[in-house]
Structure formats: structure tokens, C-alpha cells
A and B are shown apart, each in its own frame.
Chain A
Amino acid sequence: MAAAFLPLVPPLNEGRFSTLLGALGSLLAFLAAAHALLGGVPSHLDFHFWQGPARLELDALSAAFLLPLHLVAGLGIIYGADYWPITLSKGFGRSLRFFFGFLVTAMTLLFVTQNGLLFLVAWEIMAISAFFLVNTEHHRPEVRRASWVYLVCTHTGTLAITASVILLAHRLGGFAWSPLPPGAQGSLDVWILVLAVLGFAFKAGLLPLHFWLPAAHASAPSHVSAILSAVMLKTGIYGLLRVSSLLPGVPAWMGGGLLTLGAMSAVYGVWNALAQRDYKRLLAYSSIENLGIITMGVGLGWTGRALGDPWLTALGFGGAIFHVWNHAIFKSLLFFGSGALLHATGTRDMEGLGGLAARMPRTALVLLPGVLAVAALPPFNGFLSEWFLYRGLFASLRGGDAWSSGLALLALVFTGGLAAVAFARFYGVIFLGTPRSEAGAHAHDPSRLMLVPMGILAALTLGIGLLSLPLLPVLDRVVAVVAPGQALARGLPLATLVGRDFRMLLLLEGLLLVFGGLALAWLRPGAQTAEAPPTWDCGYAAPTARMQYTGSSFAEGWSVFLPGLTQRVRSIRALFPRAHSFHTRIQDAVGDGLLAPWLERVAARLFRFHRFQTGYLSVYILYVLVTLLGVFLWLLLRARLSL
């Protein structure tokens, strides 16, 4: 068990040895987390930190987040060995490995700590190492800008989290985190939760605090994007779950509010994913969508806790945790795949690609399960966690907050539909058809070290989709930690309540594969003997790649509904018009459209304080002296007046 607490050794050494060490560390931590989840005794480590008792504890909730962290980290380290060879460009490769190890260590600490101060320290290390990781290619200006925007945003969030942790310490009587007994309601609880939601929503990329996310995740190296999207965003979810589990209760309106917030983020994320041309940005927006879905689950769970409904609590929290795992698997698969694409073609613009399924057949094969899973289609894992959420929402329609869950139901349906559109476009434009430019014409599959991690993740999406019945008791254990004294105490675990339905669901998904296999077997004998003809294009015998539908034209039908997509077209009016050009620009409606102008105005107002910043050290010392003097005077006066 101790292995779980051993921070990952930041791989400083050259070459294979550091890769092996990093992967081994992740494997140990992964096994420890799995052991804890399978019913092992929660182990802990007590010590003193900053003159207070501190405790590292591996309970079911920690293990539920350590599991995806170390799965993605271990595979990411293996993948990164070939994706970004240490010899590629001196310095970059080393700092990348150093901060990758640091990030994983910080997140491990974050998930196991039961102490507010230590939590904040881990949070800060995580935020800063992620900054350096995003900034890996710092010679490119757009990468620098993305990483600075990220840094500012994450620290604004940290402010709110710090305030929340301090209030929580006041409430618990110390920084040590141990759950308050139920029924001990306090007036501070609401503020702790509101501040936590504010701070953690920044990290989880919930609307309208998401605007840092797409640029940061698109700019980072792909295996870093994978761990940022698959795990780091979920530290926000972990924080919400942990802080709320310490408090005796959650007000009902906050559950409904969080549900609505999650629903809005989900729809907004997928809406934007639909319009993107840069496939890594598309994946980043899809992360916003999925974090929204997870937040919906947390909101349902909170509603269930507030109403004392163990059924709703279990479905909400269970669905959220399940989706945390599933999203970690399929999103890291997709980001690894995007890295392979970037490696092979050198472009992030999907309009230049096409026909890669014929040129990178293995990559295309392993990415298809990921695409189907992210569109929440059976028999893959993404569908199962959404199935939980649907059941939770329907349960809430009957006995919970009917209005917010009705709205969220619509959002979830719409999100599912739009995600299918966005990812049909993603896969279709990149992998199918014929290459639209030279970039994709000579692409080839990546090396085995990059393919094997993707293959493992692809197998997991299908494996969880078909064989996840043993996960139900595991989810029960996690829910018992998140909602202390509610779900399990009343003898209503998920395993008995949805066990039968879930078994039927898995059976039918298996049957789906059987039917598919039969149909395929029936098609087999029809192999073609003559030479392959071109595609039928309504009699036109010389189709070119430029005649194909592009990603933009695929999303064109939605452009009236997409306020973020601004388009400038010069009108063409002549019998024989001369050459004209137009271009489209995709922007984030909330981030670039609303927040950026507002922030600029605020910055202009704040600029009048600029005259205090003279640049002379002596003046600054004078400021310090004046402030000190002021404080002394105030203390003196207060002492006099109170006397």
C-alpha cells in the first residue's frame, strides 16, 4: 500500500530508464488504487505539517480518481517516449518529462491528502507544472498566450478555493479534514460551497469560466493534453465532491443550480466543438461538454442528499464517477490519436486532411471505439455512464427537482445528438474520403510505443462497455464516501437496485456485437474480383478531393444556430465575376465575444493606477513604510478607542 503514497519519481534520467521508472510508478499506484476500490482496508499515514496534524488517506473517493490518473499517466509516459523523444530539441524534452512527473505527483498528493493546507500546496504545484507543460513550445507566440491565460485563470480560481478552504477550516476547527456529523448545519456551509463551486468550476472549465481551456489544451503536447483533459479538469470535480462530503448537508437549490450549470456547459461545449476546424480544439471543447455531464451527475447527487433520497444520490454520484472514468479513457485515447495525426501530417487543421483510414489503418481502427464512446453510443463505455445519468434524471423528474431535471434532460439529449454530429464530422473528415492536401497524402501509422497505449485504451472502452457489471459494487463504495451515512446505511446500493437492469443492458450490447458479426459473415462472400472503380458521383467520372464535403461545409447547416461562428463574405455580383476571396473565423461566443471586451474595459479602468508603478525601488520601499505606519496608527487608535 505504501507504494501508492510514493510520489512518482520525476524522470530526470535519459532515455528508456526514466520511461520504465515512470510507468512502473504509475502501475504501482494504479494497483494500489484498484486494491482500495475492490474493498481493501483504507490505509493512511499521519504526520505533522505546519504545526498541525496532517493525514494522507487512500479512501474509495481518492482511489476513484487515482485510478484514471495513473492509467493515463502510465500510458502517457510510454506514449511520450516516442511522441516527444528526449533528443528532439534539447531542453524541451527534458523539461517536458520533469514537469510531467511533477504534475502526476502533485495530483497524486492532491487526491490522497486530508488536510486543507496540503491540498492547497498540491493544487498550486499542479497548476504551475501544468503551466510549464502547456508552455512547452514556448517559441510560438500563441502557445505563450494560451499558457499565460491559463495561469491567470487558474490562480483566480485558486483565490476562491483558498477562501473556501479557510472557511472550511473555521468550520471544522482545523485544517484536518474529517466529515462533520449529519445534522450539524452551520451558516457558513452555503458560503463554503458557493466559493468551492466558483473555484473548482474554473478548473473544470464550466461555463462561463471555460475560456482558458480550449487554447491551453490545444497548445500542449498531445499526451499532456490527454492528462490535462482526462484527469486535471476532474480535480475540480474531486474538489466539489470532497468538500461537500465533509459538510453535513447541501441545500437543495445548490443541487438544482449545479445541475443547470452542468447542463449549460455540456450544450455549450458540444455546440462549439461542432464548429472547430482545429481537431485538438474540438477535443478540448468536447472536454467541456463531458465535464458538464459529470457536473450534472454531481448536481443530481447533491439534490438527492438534500432531499434524503438515497436512490437519487447513488445514481447521481455513481453516474458522475463512472463518467469520470469513462471520459478519462476515451478522451485520452482521442488525444493520443490526435498526437499521432499531428505527428504524421504536421497540421492541426482538419480541412487539410482526409482519407487517413487508408494510410493510417491501425490508428483509424483504434480511434473508432473512442469516437463511438465519446458520442455515447452503445456498446461502448460512454453510453453506460450516460445511461446512469438518464436514470437519475428520470428519477429526479418523479421525486426530485422536476424543473431543473427536465431542463437537464433536454440538455443531455441535445448534447448526445450534437456530439454524434461533431464526432461523425471529426472522424469522417479526417479519416474517410480522399486527402484534401499534400499534408495527409503521405501519412503513416506511428510507432508501436505510441500505438500500444491507444490499443489498450480502445480495448478498455469496449471492455467496460460489455463487462462492467463488477463495477457496480465499486461505485457503491465511492458513493458511500461522497454521501456519508446515506446510500449504504439504508441498504440501497446500486448493485442491488440496478443490477438486473444493468445485466440486461450488457447482455443486449453483447447481442448487438453478435448480430453485427452475423451480418458481416453474411457479407463476406461478396468479395470483389474486378478492378475497383471510382466513387459514383452522379455520372461525373473524374471526382477530385476538393469536391468532397469539408468539415466547414458539414457544420454549415448549423451555422445559423452558431453565434460564435462569424463569417465574412464579399458579395459576388457580376455575370463574369473576378476572383474573390472570403474567410471565416471561429471564435468562442462567451469567451471572445462577451468576456474579452469586458475584461479589456476593466483593464483600461485599472490602468489609472499605473502611475503608482514608477519602477524605482526607493518609491516602493516608501509605500511599504507608509503602509506600516498606517497600520500602526490604526492599531494605536483602535486600542485608544476601545479603552
Chain B
Amino acid sequence: MSQALVPALLNLLFRAFVVLLLPPLIPGLITKIKAWMAGRSGPPVLQLYYDLAKLARKQAVFSRTTTWVFLAGPVGTVAALLVASLLIPLGHTAPLLAFEGDVILFAYLLGLGRFLTVLSALDTGSAFEGMGAAREVSFSALAEPALFFGFAALARATGSLSLTPMLQSHGMWTAGHLSGPLMLILAGWGIVFLAENSRIPVDDPNTHLELTMIHEVMVLDHSGRPLALILYGASLKLVVLGALLVDPLLPVLSKGWLNGLAFLGGITLLAVVVGLVESTTARFRMNKVPQFLVAGVLASAFAFLLLLV
């Protein structure tokens, strides 16, 4: 009894660490890589933790146009992402919850967070936030098919509709006819990852001009604790969607804790890659973004077609 209990508890602790404590580190890492690439020393890696601690102590300011809907965005996003993080496998560690059809819940939870964020942006009545909201919904409507085609292809390949078997089926790399589609899926999801997390080349979180933003402009009016929730939610989204990309690439190791370490290494590597991409590319013009997203849709659609015939 106790022999089964200890690994389960450790697994739970690991999961709590990854979901609750780790996320703010990832944006810090990306910023650090970008700073190094540009020859600067940059802010500390733990900067986001300091920011969150500061925001938690600050008073929030609410514009006179806003209503209770204004809080639905931060609250809903974080709640949806926390539930989504229960479903996703972290590397090849034991899953916490898995059932047939959880992948649909996963995708729609991301949708719920986005929907509420858009509503709270429109609640301010600001022209800029409306603009950001319109862009966000248009682009994510294109990103969603890319995500789903990948799921459909994996569902057909693994015969399961649950995230855990889909992402942990390492045998796909060795089965010759499956490795090609898997690469295409990961390419498509890579684009989804950049778009959904508002990274360059789709969106630039650090730009100083509101007109060129997508996601950041939607949260201009949030402050204090609501803003802290938004920042934490954004970093959690990096981890949750990052796991989609990292999991299929990780090798299966003999020990549970080694698998956990492998996952942490994978996420760190992903942060480094994102930092390198951001340092070497420029943000696309707004009208080029849909083309980039359609490329993602086509990649995973092609993977799906390959598995269909």
C-alpha cells in the first residue's frame, strides 16, 4: 500500500510544482535569452515572481465604464487553465486524470478563457482593447483547426481520444508511417503555440505601441491583483501548451523522477528555442498573420490526411 502511495504523492507534488510555481520562470527565461542574444544582461530570470508579488499587494483600479464582466476575464482564464493543466500529461510521468474525450474539454477550456478575456476587454469601451479583441478572436479561430487536426490525426493513429495516450505514445517515432505525420503535427502545433501565447512573429508582448498589439492590448486596463492573475495565467498557458509540444519528443525513461526531470529539461529547452526565434525574427505585418496560421492548419491537416488514406 505505502509503496504505491509514495510515488503517487511525489507525482502530485511534482505536478503542483509545475503548475503553481514553475510557470513564471518561463517568460523570465525567454526574456533572458533575448537579452543575451542582443548583448544585454537583461532583467533577472525571476523578475515575473517579483512582479506578481508586487501586484498582489497593490490596489486595483477600475475604470468607470467597467462592470463585473471585467473580472470574468482574469478569473475565467486562470480557472480554465488550471483545469486544463490537470488533463495534460507532463512528460512520461503518470497522468493525474485521463478519460476518453478529455481532449475536447481541453480545447474548449482554452476557448473559454479566451472568450472571457475578450469580454472583459470589450467591457472597458476602449477602441484599442476592442481592436485587440477583434484580432484575438479572428486569429484564434484559425489556430483552433490546426490544434484539432493534430488531435484528430493522433486520435486516428493511437485509437484513443484522451490526451495522455495521444501524447505519450512514443512508439509513433519508430513506426515508419507515423513519424512523418507526427512531425507535421508538431510543426502545426508550434505555430499554434506561438500564436496562442502571443509570441513573435505573431504578436510582440514587449512592443510599446498599442496599435500593433494583439493580446497585450486587451489587458491594458487591468491592474493590481487582476493583472497578477492575467500574468500568471499567460505563463501557465506557456507551460500547458508547451507540454503539447514537448511530450511527444521526450524519451521514455525507466524511473518516474527521471521522466519528471526530462520534462523540466524539455520545457526549459522550449523556452530557449522561443527566445532564439524571437531574437532572430521580426513580427509579421498584421495581414501576414492569417497566412502564417493557415500554414499551421495546412501542416496538421496534411498529417491528418496522411493518416486517413
Show the binding face of A for B, using Cβ within 8 Å: 354-355, 357-358, 361, 364, 368, 372, 375-378, 383, 386-387, 390-391, 394, 397-398, 402-403, 406, 409-410, 413-414, 416-418, 420-421, 424-425, 427-429, 431-434, 498, 500-501, 504-505, 508, 511-513, 515-516, 518-520, 522-523, 526, 528-530, 532-538, 543, 545, 547-549, 553-558
Q: Is B63 an interface residue (CB 8 A)?
A: yes
State whether A528 and B59 are in contact (beta carbons under 8 Å apart), knowing that A378-B112, A394-B152, A549-B130 are contacts in the complex.
yes
Question: What are 6 contact pairs spanning A and B, CB under 8 A?
Answer: A355-B125, A377-B115, A397-B155, A406-B304, A532-B64, A549-B133
Residues of chain A contacted by B188 (CB below 8 angstroms)? none
Task: Assess whether B133 is in contact with A500, with CB atoms less than 8 Å apart.
Answer: no
Assess the A500–B225 pair: CB atoms within 8 A.
Answer: no
Query: For window 95-151 of chain B, which residues contact chain A by CB distance below 8 Å?
Result: 97, 99-102, 104-105, 108-109, 111-112, 114-115, 118-119, 122-128, 130-131, 133-135, 137-138, 140-142, 144-145, 148-149
Q: Which residues of B contact A530 (CB under 8 A)?
A: 61
- Is there contact, CB below 8 Å, between A500 and B115? no
Q: Mark B56-96, 1 if CB is under 8 A from A, else 0.
A: 00011111111111010011101110110011000000000
Q: Enumerate chain A residues within 8 angstroms of B126, measured Cβ to Cβ.
A: 535-537, 543, 547-548
Say which residue of B61, B63, B75, B149 sits within 8 Å of A523 (CB atoms): B75
> Contact at A534–B63, with CB atoms within 8 Å?
yes
Pairwise interchain contact A428-B119, C-beta atoms closer than 8 A = yes
A523 near B145: Cβ-Cβ < 8 Å: no
B59 contacts A394, CB within 8 Å? no
Inter-subunit contact B65/A535 (CB<8 Å): yes
Asked if A358 meets B67 with Cβ closer than 8 Å, knowing A519-B78, A533-B61, the reply is yes
Q: A425 contacts which chain B residues (CB < 8 A)?
A: 137
Q: A424-B119, A512-B79 are in contact. Are A416 and B111 (CB under 8 A)?
A: yes
A394 touches B63 (CB 8 A): no
Minimum CB–CB distance from B108 to chain A (whole Å) comes to 6
How many angstroms between the C-alpha atoms of A376 and B86 in the bound complex?
21
Indicate whether B210 reaches chain A with its CB closer than 8 angstroms: yes
Verify B101–A391 contact, CB threshold 8 A.
yes
**Cα–Cα, bound, A536→B161 (Å):** 45
Chain A residues in 8 Å Cβ range of B109: 378, 512
Q: Please, which residues of chain A bring their CB within 8 A of the CB of B308?
A: 397, 402-403, 406
A410:B149 contact, CB within 8 angstroms: yes
Complex CA gap A432/B120 in Å reads: 8
- On whether the beta carbons of B141 and A421 are closer than 8 Å, the reply is yes
Is B156 part of the binding interface, using a Cβ–Cβ cutoff of 8 Å?
A: yes
Q: Is the CB of A390 within 8 A of B104?
A: yes
Q: Tell me which of A413, A520, A522, A534 contacts B145 (CB under 8 A).
A: A413
Give the chain B neighbours of A375 by CB distance below 8 A. 111, 115
A556 and chain B: residue at smallest CB distance: B134
A417 with B141: CB separation less than 8 A: yes
Task: State the Cβ distance, A524 to closest chain B Cβ, in Å.
Answer: 9
The docked-state distance in angstroms from the alpha carbon of A512 to that of B220 is 26
Contact of A387 with B104 in the complex, beta carbons under 8 Å: yes
Tell me the bound Cα distance from A542 to B71 in angstroms. Answer: 24
Q: Does B159 contact A (CB under 8 A)?
A: yes
Contact of B59 among A386, A529, A543, A548 (CB under 8 A): A529
Contacts of A529 in B (CB 8 A): 59
Residues from chain B with Cβ under 8 Å of A558 in the complex: 138
**Contacting residues, chain B, for A543 (C-beta < 8 A):** 125-127
A394 near B155: Cβ-Cβ < 8 Å = yes
Question: Among the listed A368, A376, A519, which residue makes an inter-chain contact with B79, where contact means beta carbons less than 8 Å apart?
Answer: A519
CB distance from A304 to the nearest CB of B (A): 17
- Select one of A358, A501, A553 contacting B134, CB under 8 A: A553
Is B28 interfacial (CB-CB < 8 Å)? no
A26 CB to closest chain B CB (Å) equals 33
One digit per residue, 1 when the CB lies within 8 angstroms of any chain A CB and 0 when it does not, for chain B 151-195 equals 010011001010000000000000000000000000000000000
Q: How far is the CB of B96 from chain A (nearest CB, A)?
A: 11
A420 and B141: CB pair below 8 A? yes
When the two chains form their complex, are residues A536 and B119 in contact, meaning their CB atoms are under 8 A apart? no
In the bound complex, CA of A504 to CA of B100 (Å):
10
CB distance from B206 to the nearest CB of A (A): 17
Is the CB of B244 closer than 8 A to any CB of chain A? no
Q: Cβ of A397 and Cβ of B156 under 8 Å apart?
A: yes
Closest 5 CB pairs of A and B: A549-B130, A428-B122, A433-B125, A417-B141, A515-B79
* Residues of chain A lying within 8 A (CB to CB) of residue B145: 410, 413-414, 417
Contact of B111 among A390, A420, A532, A556 (CB under 8 A): A420
Q: Which residue of B lies closest to A411 (CB)?
A: B145
CA A523 – CA B220 in complex, angstroms? 18
On chain A, the residues within 8 Å of B266 by CB distance are: none
In the bound assembly, the distance between CA atoms of A555 and B225 in angstroms comes to 32
